[in-house]
């Protein structure tokens, strides 16, 4: 994605997750679909080797994607790959800033960062609910009967704090094996970008710990506010002193 377009894309993808604002979501989805249609056309005129070029080639070469599928996959990859990681980084850094002993331990032992990423994602999941599912048949879950053909939203953030699965779940414990968390979803629709997201989070956390030895919250944690969103959970801002 060209650097010059990033401010627009950032705004549209934030709007896509606005809570209780269907008009804002609607116009952002049209804007981002139009943008992706233009980007696909531009890549057709001068192809490169990026992921989008490969998807265009799959469409044009052997017709494995319809034009609409190509655009919607492009939008999905762009949005799913960007808001999620941004919010994960904010949530993870906040958790560490609020647990200075754990932060110090990661700084002195950076080899612990990969394992810590799972626990940080479990502890404060940036994707707080999955996308909609629909029941194909009636099911009883936790004593509640859910009829066939109704929408269901799985609360990933709550599942990741299930005390039966993660003892003392409200405690950040970088030594726990949190690898079975649901922060990337589960089953056939599990996050396609999980390995990339994990790498990005590791790299960014290591860089922040490395570069800013004195990093600390610039405001009391109680003053931090969260964006008014659906699906994703993330801070409006994370003011720090370095
Ligand atoms: C830390 C960052 C990320 C988190 C927490 C995250 C989380 C998730 C979750 C929970 C789902 C499943 C949603 C559901 O079941 O309804 C999902 C799906 C998906 N993610 Fe991620 N994601 C992250 C980063 C990325 C990145 C970097 C990419 C791509 C570049 C990506 C692409 C996708 C796609 C395409 C799907 C849909 C898969 C499908 O429906 O088959 N994600 N993600």
Residue among 13, 184, 202 to mutate when testing ligand 1 (max atoms within 8 A of CB): 184
pLDDT digits (tens, 9 = 90+) for 61-118: 777 888 999 999 999 999 998 889 999 999 999 999 999 999 999 999 999 999 999 9
d(CA 111, CA 113): 5
Give residue 228's domain range.
83-241
Using the 3D structure, point to which of 24, 56, 80 is the last residue of a domain: 80
* Closest residue by CA, ligand 1 atom 12: 185
CATH code, domain with 116: 1.10.630.10
* Closest residue by CA, ligand 1 atom 36: 191
Question: How far from the centroid of its chain's Cα atoms is residue 197's Cα?
Answer: 8
Q: Are residues 51 and 131 in the same domain?
A: no
Bridge-based pairing of strands 216-217 and 240-241 is antiparallel
Q: Are residues 73 and 108 in the same domain?
A: no
Task: Answer yes or no: is the C-beta of 110 below 6 A from any ligand 1 atom.
Answer: no
Q: Are residues 32 and 127 in the same domain?
A: no
Cβ-contact 214, 241 below 8 angstroms: yes
pLDDT digits (tens, 9 = 90+) for 181-209: 999 999 999 999 999 999 999 999 999 99
Nearest by Cα to 131 from 199, 87, 198, 188: 188
d(CA 205, CA 219): 20
Q: Are residues 62 and 174 in the same domain?
A: no
pLDDT score of 133: 94
Query: What separation in Å is there between the alpha carbon of 79 and the centre of ligand 1?
Result: 9
Using the 3D structure, point to which of 28, 59, 80 is the last residue of a domain: 80
* Closest residue by CA, ligand 1 atom 19: 191
Question: How far from the centroid of its chain's Cα atoms is residue 188's Cα?
Answer: 17
pLDDT score of 215: 95
Q: Are residues 126 and 37 in the same domain?
A: no
Total structural domains within the chain: 2
């Amino acid at each position: 994605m060209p650097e010059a377009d990033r401010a627009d894309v950032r705004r549209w993808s934030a709007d896509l997750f606005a809570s209780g604002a269907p008009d804002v979501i609607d116009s952002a989805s049209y804007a981002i679909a139009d943008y992706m249609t233009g980007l696909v056309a531009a890549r057709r005129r001068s192809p490169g080797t990026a992921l989008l070029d490969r998807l265009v080639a799959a469409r044009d070469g052997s017709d494995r994607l319809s034009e609409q599928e190509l655009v919607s996959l492009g939008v999905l990859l762009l949005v799913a790959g960007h808001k999620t990681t941004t919010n994960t980084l904010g949530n993870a850094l906040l958790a560490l800033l609020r647990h200075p002993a754990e932060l110090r331990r990661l700084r002195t032992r950076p080899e612990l960062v990969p394992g810590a990423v799972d626990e940080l994602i479990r502890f404060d999941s940036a994707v707080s609910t999955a996308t909609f599912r629909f029941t194909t048949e009636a099911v009883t879950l936790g004593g509640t009967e859910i009829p066939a053909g109704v929408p269901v939203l799985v609360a990933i953030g709550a599942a990741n704090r299930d005390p039966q699965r993660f003892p003392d779940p409200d405690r950040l414990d970088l030594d726990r094996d949190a690898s079975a968390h649901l922060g990337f979803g589960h089953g056939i629709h599990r996050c396609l970008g999980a390995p990339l997201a994990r790498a990005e989070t590791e790299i960014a956390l290591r860089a922040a710990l490395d570069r800013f030895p004195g990093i600390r919250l610039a405001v009391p944690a109680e003053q931090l506010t969260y964006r008014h969103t659906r699906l994703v959970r993330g801070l409006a801002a994370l003011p720090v002193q370095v």
